[in-house]
Amino acid sequence: MMSLNANAKKRVALVGAPLALGQSLAGVGLAPQVLRQAGLGQVITELGYELMDKGDLVFRVEEVTPISPVTGAGAAVTLSRVKHAQAVGQACRELAQAVEQLATGDNFVLTLGGDHSVALGSIAGLWRARPETALVWVDAHGDFNTPETSLSGNLHGMPLAALLGQLTPGLPGFEWLQGVSVSPERVALVGVRSLDEAERQLLKATGVQVYTMSAIDRYGIGPIMERAMAAVNPTGKLGYHVSFDIDAIDPQEAPGTGTTARGGLTYREGHTIVEMLAATDKLGSMDLVEINPELDRNDLTITLGIELIASALGKAIF
C-alpha cells in the first residue's frame, strides 16, 4: 500500500462521475466541473501533487421497466420500483472499471460525484485493485436501505448496503456487482444522524461500526475517529478509503446539497476526519459526493469541498 509521505512521488488521479439519477434533484451532476472551475486542480498541484485528470465519464440515461414488487420481512414498505436502476447500474459499472485502472498504480484516486450512488462504482473498482482497504463512510444518513426497505426508491440511499452484499438479487443493471462484497468489519459509518428504522436494524445485524453525531457530541471527533480507525484497521496495515457525503456537514456550513439534516458535523470536525486519515499515510482514495451547486449559497459548499480534499491530501495547519 502506498504511503503519501513528503518524499514519495505523488500523483492524484481524478475522475468525475456526474451521476444524478440516484436521487431526485437536478444539479448534483454539475459538481465535478464546478469544483474544477473553482480551482481544485490548482489546489492539488500547489500541494506538490501531479494531477492526472481523466475528465468526466459520460453516462447514458436509460429508462427501465420497474422491477416486480417485493416485500422484505419486517420491511417498512413494499417497494414496486427502484428508480433508474438500469442507468445507475450501468454508470457504476463504467466507473468501477475506470477506478480499478487508476488504482492499480500508486495514485491517490479521487472520485467526484454526483450523488452517493457513485460509490457503488468507485469502491467496487477500488476493492478489485486494492482489496486490503478499510472504508470510512462519512454521511448524515446510513445509505443502508435496500429495495425492500427504501421509502423513496432512490439508489443514493442504498449504496453502502449494496456494497455489503444486501442488494436484491436480479436488480436490473447490477448483475456485474455480484461477487463484490465489502466486509462489514472493515466499514465505519461516521457522523450519521438520520436513519430509517429498517436501516438501523440491518446495520446492527451486519455489524458495521456506527458512530453517530450523539457519540461525537459526547466524546469528541478525535477520540471517535481513533476508535473508528482502530475498529476497521486494528493492525494498522490496511489502506483507507473515505467516502465523504457533504451532507454530513451541518447545512449552515454546507447548504449546497439535496438531503440536508440539522445538527451535523462542524467545519472543523469534517476536516479533522480527513486530516486524521491523511496523517496515517495510508489514505489512498476518496469520494466527494452530493454537492449540488444549484442549491449552494455563496459557493460555501464548493469551497468547503475543495478544502476537504486538500486536507485529505495532507494539507495541515502546521
**Which has the higher per-residue pLDDT, 72 or 156?**
156
Check 139, 250, 287, 296 and give the catalytic one.
139
pLDDT digits (tens, 9 = 90+) for 123-168: 999 999 999 999 999 999 999 999 988 988 899 999 999 999 998 7
Check 94, 100, 115, 143 and give the catalytic one.
143
Check 100, 196, 199, 245 and give the catalytic one.
245
Confidence of residue 171 (pLDDT cuts 50, 70, 90): confident
Residue 118: pLDDT over 90? yes
Residue 121: pLDDT over 90? yes
Determine what percent of the chain is predicted with pLDDT higher than 70.
91
Residue 232: pLDDT over 50? yes
Q: Give the pLDDT of residue 62.
A: 55
247 is catalytic: yes
241 is catalytic: no
Residue 169: pLDDT over 90? no
Q: Is the dihedral of CA 89, 93, 98, 104 positive or negative?
A: positive
Check 84, 115, 116, 275 and give the catalytic one.
116
CA separation for the pair 270, 183 (Å, rounded): 25
In terms of Cα–Cα distance, which of 16, 34, 7 is closest to 122?
Answer: 16
CA separation for the pair 153, 131 (Å, rounded): 30
- Phi, then psi, of 117 in degrees rounded to 5: -60, -20
Q: Residue 151 is which amino acid?
A: L
This prediction has a pTM of 0.92
CA separation for the pair 71, 78 (Å, rounded): 5
Q: Give the pLDDT of residue 68.
A: 43
Identify the DSSP state of 66. Answer: P
Check 141, 148, 196, 241 and give the catalytic one.
141
CA separation for the pair 284, 141 (Å, rounded): 24
Q: Helix 221-232 to helix 267-279 angle, to the nearest 10 degrees?
A: 40
**Which has the higher per-residue pLDDT, 306 or 151?**
306
Read out DSSP for 133-193? EEEEEE-SB-----TTT-SS--GGGSHHHHHTT-SPTT-TT-GGGTT----GGGEEEEEE-
84 is catalytic: no
Report the pLDDT averaged over residues 60-83: 48
Check 84, 156, 241, 271 and give the catalytic one.
156
CA separation for the pair 239, 186 (Å, rounded): 11
pLDDT digits (tens, 9 = 90+) for 93-116: 999 999 999 999 899 999 999 999
**Where do the domains of the chain lie, and which CATH numbers do they carry?**
11-312 (3.40.800.10)
Where is average pLDDT lowest: 8-12, 46-50, 91-95, 198-202?
8-12
116 is catalytic: yes
